[in-house]
Structure 1
Amino acid sequence: MTIAENLIVTGLGITTIGLFAGIVYQAVSEAIDRRRYPPHGELVDIGGFRLHLNCVGQGTPTVVMDAGGGAPSITWGLVPSEIAKFTRVCTYDRAGLGWSDPNFRTPRTSQQSVDELHKLLNKAGIEPPYILVGHSLGGANMRLYASQYPKDVVGLVLVDSVHENQMTSDAWRRIQRQLWLYQVMRIANQVGVLRLIGELNLLPMLKDIKQETQKYPSAVQALFDTYKSYCYRPHYWATVYSERASIGKSFEQLQTVISLGELPLIVLIQGAKDPQISDERFQKWSSLQLDLTKLSSNNQHIIAENSGHLVPLDQPELVISAVHQLIQRLSTQRIFYD
C-alpha cells in the first residue's frame, strides 16, 4: 500500500469507530433519559404507535390542550395544574414530540394531528364535552378539531394562534433555511453528535432556551432538563421538520374553517413585541389575531400586555382565567353534563 492509501484506510477506520461509538453513546444515553424522565400520565396505543396523555383534576367539561409547533406538552408550564383545581384537564404530546412515539406514515399536518387526537380521546375514554385550548400551531389544530366535531366542543381558547394568512415570501424563505437545519440536526442526533455538543453547553439553541427559562418560576425552570432530553431524540427533529415542511398544507386545511357559529371563543394575543421582530411584522400578527375573533359571533379577545409569543409561560394566569370564564359562562347558561 502507498502512504496515501494507508492514510485513507486509517481515516476510514477512525471514522467508522467514531460513528459506532457515537451511535452507542446515543442509544445508551436515550435509555438513561427514559428512566430519568418517565412520562406523567399514560401512553395510549392508537394503532401501531402510542401517544402520551396526562389528565389531572376532576369536573366537566374536560379541558384539552395542544402546544405550539415542535413543542411538548410540558411547555404549558404551570397552566394545567392550576386548571386542575376547578375541572379536569388533559394535555398530550403530538406524535414524535415529548413522550409520544413518532408517526411518519403521513406528513405532520394539522388534519393528521386532529385525527390522532380524536382517536386518542376515544381510546382513552375521555368523553366530551371539551373546552379546547391551543397555543400557536396547537391553536390551528384545535380550531380544525372544533369545526369537525362541533357537538363535542363547548368552548375554544386560541393562545397567540397561527393564522393561515400569516405567511409572506420572507417567512417562506426563513422556513426553508430552518428545514435544512432540522435535517442536519436529525442526522447529528442519530450519531450522538448533537447530544455531545449540547451536554458541553455548546449548542446555541439550548443555551438560549436555558437562559430564557431563568426568568420563570423554579417549577418551570426545572422542566428544562426534560425538554433537553426530548431534543436529543432522533425522531424529534424529523417530526419538527415534517410539521414545519407541512405548514402550507395545514394552512390550506384551515381555510375551510370559515365559521364556528356561536361557539364561545376567547383569543389571547401577545402584547409585548420581540425586539428582533419589525413593527410591521408585529402589527400584521396582531391584526391577524383579531381576525380570528370573527370565527365566532360569541367572541372575546384579551391582550397579554406583558407577554411575547409564549403567553402560557409569560402570563399563565390569562390562560387559566380564560378557561375559567368559559366554564362559568356555561354554568350560567345552565348547561350541565353528567
Structure 2
Amino acid sequence: MPIINKSASNYVEYISKNNPPYLSKKRDASINLNGKVSDCNGEIIWCRHIASYWSEFFCSNSGKIDYETFSSPQLLSKAIVIQENKGTNNIKGDVYFVENESWGSVIYNLFLQLEKENKSHTSLEVHSPGHAMALGIKIKNDKENKFVINFYDPNQTATHKRVFFCTNNICDIINLTAYDFLSEQCLKCYGLKEDTLSLFVDKTKSNDNNNVFIKKLPDNILQGVVINFAMGAGLREIIKKVYNDTRFTDLTKSQMKILCESKNVNNVPGLLLALQNGHDNVIDEYGTLIKKSNLNKEELIHILSARTLDGTIPGLYQALQNGHAQAIKSYGNLVLDTIDKNIDLEYLLSAFKYEAHSSNK
C-alpha cells in the first residue's frame, strides 16, 4: 500500500470553500507509521490494518479517538495484532461502490440511517484501488444537532480531517466529494485519479456468517476496477452482474480485454488477488465471464497467467503459498476449459514459476 511522507501544510488542499474538512492543530500530522512498524508476531502493519483498527476504535469508544496509541510506534505495535489468514481479504458487511463525486451522497444517507436507527455514530473502512482509509461519522446533540464527519488516512497516522454540518445545512453534505478530503498527490497515489472508485465497507453490519451485502453499485459496472475489487474481496455476485449487463456484448475488443485483465493502480490483476485470497467461488464466476468475452486464445493466455506487470509474481504461486486448495482447483478448471489441451500442462507449470522474491501488499 502507498506510503506518503509530506508535511502537514501540503495536505491542506481543499475544493469545498464554505465548510472544508480541516486538520486539528493539536495533533501532529507529520507522523506516518504505515508500513513502518510490526505487530508482536513480526508481521508488518499496513494501512488496511491501521484503518481497520481506527474504525473499530471509533465505534467502541462512542465516536472518539485517543491518538496516544496512533502516535507511538511501540503502542501501535502492541495494539494491533494481525489475525487475518495470509493473503485473506477481510471485507464483510455492507459494501458501497462509491464514485469520487458521490462520497457526500453516501455519507448523507448514512446519517439518515443513523437517525432512523436512533444511533449516534458509526464507522466505515474506505478502500481505494491502492490504499485503505476510514470514515467515522457521528451525531452530536448540542444546542442543535451537529453531523460530524471524521476522515482518517493512515499516512497521517496520528490525526484525522474533520468537518461538521448543522441541521439547517445538513443537505450540503451531499456536495462533498473525494476531492474535498484528498490532495491531488494522494488521489493519484491511491488510484483515484483514473479509476475514481472506492469501496465503503460498514463492518458494523456484518453478522456471524460474515455475509456481504452490496448496498450501492457504480453507474457503470463495466470497469476493470469493479472486477478487481470484486475478485480481491470475493464478491461473486458482482462478476455475475457484469457479464449479465446488457452493455457487456457491446464492448469493443480492447475494452473487453481491459475489463478481463481487471488491473488495479499497481497493475495487479484481479485473478491474482482472487488466487492470493482464496476466493474459489469468484474464480468460477470469472470463468463464465472469460467464456462470454470471446477473446482469442493468445490474449487469454496472457490474462490467465495472473501475474504482476513485471511477470514475477504469479497468482498460482500465491495460492499455493497461502494453502488455498479449492482456489487452485477452480483456477485449474478455468485454464483447462479455456486453453488448448496440448499446452495446458506447460501453461500451468509456467504460471507456478516464481521468478523473484517479493510479495503483494
**What TM-score range do you get, normalising by the shorter chain?**
under 0.3
Task: Point out which structure has higher relative CO (alpha carbons under 8 A, 6+ apart).
Answer: 1
Name whichever structure is richer in helix by fraction.
1
Normalising by the residue count of structure 2, what TM-score does the alignment of the two structures yield? 0.24
Query: What TM-score results when the alignment is normalised by the length of structure 1?
Result: 0.26
